[in-house]
Amino acid sequence: MFGAALDYRLLRPFAHSRNRATEAELDARFLHAAPDTAAARLKLAKLVSRFDGRLPREPQLRYLDMGCGTGELTLAFHQLTGAAVTGVDALPRNIERARLLAHAAGAGNALRFACADLASWTPREPFDVLLSFDCFEHIDAPREHLSRMRDFVGPGGIAALAFGPLFHSPFGDHMWDFFRLQLPWRGVLFSEAALLRLRRECFRPTDPARRYQEVAGGLNLMRYSEFLRYARAAGWQFDHLEANVFSGRGAALRRVAAPFLRLPGARDFFAHNVYAVLRREN
């Protein structure tokens, strides 16, 4: 807004260090924390319901969970469907924990995990359904990734994506964990250098990122309009598309944002989350 130095001084009083942790501390915490499988099942049930019946749940289908994180949702999806699921994530601590969860659950060969960058990873055979939950806003080079996703499925294969908040939406900078007050559009209004300096000081002291795309997990800064354009250019057709899918108190936010989603110049700043089912064109 006013340059890195002044933006830092303006934001610093709103920041706190209660969640400060090094990467080594996070590795240990992730590995030994007790799994909350009940919470994962509840979250998955909410995700499935928001697809309004358009997410296939068939035991004979082969699923790929792109950006599976620590595997709780991957495991919950396998337990819900009985289907074989492969999870891929680029963070080693995520995959280590996911494998421990799968082993503890007795999933056997029906649940596999790979630590890999999806930009270069090659599956042994095509999948029927691609899953991506709470991840797509973190994937580097989303335009290229949407094109590469076509190689993960056969003709007619689908991808079910649920992601957000998008960076240009009110809380899309994903930096709420070290702020006392959540200022809307913080990532858009204030300097990247100022926010990442605060992140290093108050949240992740051993993550040297100087750009949003470099933080552990990454932020790709993709706009809603860009997602629509990239998907169509990559040869996907939309079986289902909905933005700002909220429940409970979030329904009021959806009503407030709805008029702005119809305005091309404004919708990128009001599209918080996206639920989409894409079908590969032959």
Question: Domain for residue 55, yes or no?
Answer: no
pLDDT at residue 247, as a whole number:
67
> In this structure, is residue 159 part of a structural domain?
yes
pLDDT score, position 249: 62
For residues 176 and 76, give the distance between their C-alpha atoms in angstroms, rounded to a whole number. 27
CA 254 to CA 270: how far, in whole Å?
Answer: 9
Q: Given the DSSP bridges, would you call strands 62-66 and 84-89 parallel, antiparallel or unpaired? A: parallel
Q: Which domain holds residue 198?
A: 4-49+61-280
Chunked into runs of 10 residues, the chain (282 residues) has average pLDDT values of 91 97 87 79 92 93 95 95 95 91 90 94 93 92 94 92 95 96 95 97 96 92 96 95 79 79 90 95 78
In a domain, 268, yes or no: yes
CATH number for the domain that contains residue 96: 3.40.50.150
The angle, 0 to 180 degrees and rounded to 10, between the axes of the packed helices 192-202 and 4-11 is 50
- Backbone φ and ψ for 211, nearest 5 degrees, come out as -135, 150
Whole-number pLDDT of residue 110: 93
Do residues 69 and 97 touch, judged by C-beta distance below 8 A? no
Q: Is residue 56 part of a domain?
A: no
The residues facing 248 across adjacent strands are: none
Total number of domains in the chain: 1
Give pTM, 2 decimals.
0.90
Residue 258: predicted pLDDT: 83
Which one, of 127, 118, 122, lies nearest residue 157 by Cα? 127
- The predicted structure's pLDDT at residue 37: 83
First to last CA, the chain: 46
DSSP string for 5-36:
HHHHHHHGGGB--TT---HHHHHHHHHHSPP-
State the pLDDT at residue 261.
Answer: 83
Using only C-alpha atoms, the chain has a radius of gyration, in whole angstroms, of: 19
Look at residue 215 in the predicted model and tell me its pLDDT: 92
Q: Tell me, yes or no, whether 99 lies in a domain.
A: yes
